[in-house]
Amino acid sequence: MREFIHSIAQLNYPREGFELILSDGSPNDGLRSVVEAAGAAAGLPVVFHHEDYLPVSEARNLAAHHAQGEYLIFLDSDCLLPADYLERVEAGLAQHNWDAFGGPDAAPENFSPLQKAISFSMTSFWTTGGIRGGAKRTAAYYPRGFNMGMKRSVFEAVGGYDVHFKTGEDVDLSIRTKRAGYQVGLIPKALVWHKRRSTLPQFFKQVRRFGGARWALAQRHPGQLKVTHLFPLLLTLGTLFSILLAAVAAVPLLVVFIGYFLVPCILAGVQYRSARIGILSVASTVVMMSAYAIGFLEAVMGGGSHTKRG
């Protein structure tokens, strides 16, 4: 949170042109002192709202309710903003006048090798097909909550975040916005630095929720489940079965699946000019695909619910 606030304070944008609102659900208001100290150190006013155990959808709706601007931008607390972020957003809106928009995420030079490997796995076209903003085409693009904005009037018209969604609430909002007839698009240059998780077990837990959320979104929005969304499941099952059958007759098949996971080693190694990051990207890609597959299967089989019962 300290780093996040510091990055906001370093924006090359007039202070009167934006406001920073943080909604927090930490128990016992434990984050307030950190936020206030960081805001004071950065010389940046921070509007802070707190309710014990406030879920993410309710927190974002609360912040939007108190916001004064024409546009709302939602960011994750593990993101950092480049100094020109708001200028990039403003330029993108001047060009397209999107009703709702999003931007990609990436890892800068000062991130750890594992953070860079995880970033590659989450953003590479080889692993996710560019659905998070890594591709230039926007026809099937839905902004996600780590870097997502919209006109206040549009947010209010579609009812904001659905508080009955545990995970995938950001994509649900994007789908509802697009289906309501609003113009939704990508601003490719408005990227954020996304720290994500610092260990592979933490990353596994996070992506496992994403897999379950995909099934919940498919149930809520018929037609949203595509063959590409099943790829992690098919890849994981195919790899496991080919390993089991390798002793019999599936050695060529095993080579195909193993080969898929080795490609990130080359792509990430070249991208970051680091053999270590290339090797770590193999591990992060295996974790990402298997975690998503497990979360998806659990949701399909009724092992987990991603909507809240009220």
Sequential DSSP letters for 262-293: HHHHHHHHHHHT-HHHHHHHHHHHHHHHHHHH
DSSP E strands, 66-205? 71-75, 79-80, 100-102, 105-106, 147-151, 184-186, 192-194
Are 156 and 48 members of one domain?
yes
108 within some domain: no
Are 125 and 203 members of one domain?
yes
Q: CA-to-CA distance for 199 and 202, rounded, in angstroms?
A: 5
Bridge partners, 243 (sequence order): none
pLDDT, residue 309, reads 34
Domain boundary among 157, 175, 196: 196
Are 46 and 182 members of one domain?
yes
Are 177 and 283 members of one domain?
no
Are 220 and 90 members of one domain?
no
136 within some domain: no
pLDDT mean values, one per 10 residues, the chain (310 residues): 95 95 92 94 94 93 95 95 97 95 93 95 86 58 94 97 89 96 95 91 94 92 87 89 70 79 94 95 95 95 54
Are 48 and 95 members of one domain?
yes
pLDDT, residue 308, reads 46
- 30 backbone dihedrals φ, ψ, rounded to 5°: -70, -20
DSSP 168: S
Strands 147-151 and 100-102 turn out to be antiparallel
pLDDT, residue 137, reads 52
Q: Whole domain around residue 240: which residue ranges? A: 113-130+199-310
pLDDT, residue 254, reads 75
Strands 192-194 and 105-106 turn out to be parallel
Are 48 and 185 members of one domain?
yes
Q: Which residues contact 79 (CB under 8 A, 6 or more apart)?
A: 4, 105, 146, 147, 192, 193, 194, 195
Are 61 and 84 members of one domain?
yes
Question: Contact 265/280 with Cβ under 8 angstroms?
Answer: no
Are 188 and 249 members of one domain?
no
277 within some domain: yes
Q: How many domains does the chain have?
A: 2
Are 211 and 246 members of one domain?
yes
pLDDT, residue 131, reads 64
Q: Give the number of other CB atoms < 10 A from CB of residue 34.
A: 14
Four-residue CA torsion sign, 81, 57, 306, 153:
negative
